[in-house]
Amino acid sequence: MYTHPTTYRVCYADTDQMQYMYYGNYARLYEIGRVEAMRALGFSYRAFEEAGIMMPVLDLQSKFLQPARYDELLQIQTTVLELPSVRIKFKYEVFNEQNVLLNEGFTTLVFVNKQTNKPCKAPADFLVALQSFFK
């Protein structure tokens, strides 16, 4: 499996009246985590799109354990649990500065050919980059 950490500081705009991170913002944290995990492997959404591959979200699950609070520095652990084919599943764990697990979630994305708008296999070079983590 492949895991990549990303840090994020909760800003005022992320919070509700209680100074807790608003629940809808966790999907954005997941996106930040997976974009940075892919970037660490040498890939970007932009490069995939320029190569004719889109990655829409098929499914999102989120479990809230404790609130993230205003000005906390969070760590988003993003994990690819299995080598992708047409779909790729990411797991997310969000920790605060005391290493307390605040949230866990999953997203499933589908590789889609931009021209045909049909599912396609993950790019071969992306699979090669991930392969060493699954041995």
pLDDT digits (tens, 9 = 90+) for 61-117: 999 999 999 999 999 999 999 999 999 999 999 999 999 999 999 999 999 999 999
Cβ neighbours of 59 (radius 10 Å): 11
pTM of the model: 0.93
pLDDT exceeds cutoff 90 at 33: yes
In 3D, which of 33, 12, 7 has the Cα closest to residue 99?
7
Tally of domains in the chain: 1
Q: What is the CATH number of the domain that holds 79?
A: 3.10.129.10
DSSP for 81-102 reads -S--SSEEEEEEEEE-TT--EE
Q: Domain range holding 112?
A: 2-134
DSSP 3-state of 126: helix
Residue 135's pLDDT band (cuts 50, 70, 90) = confident
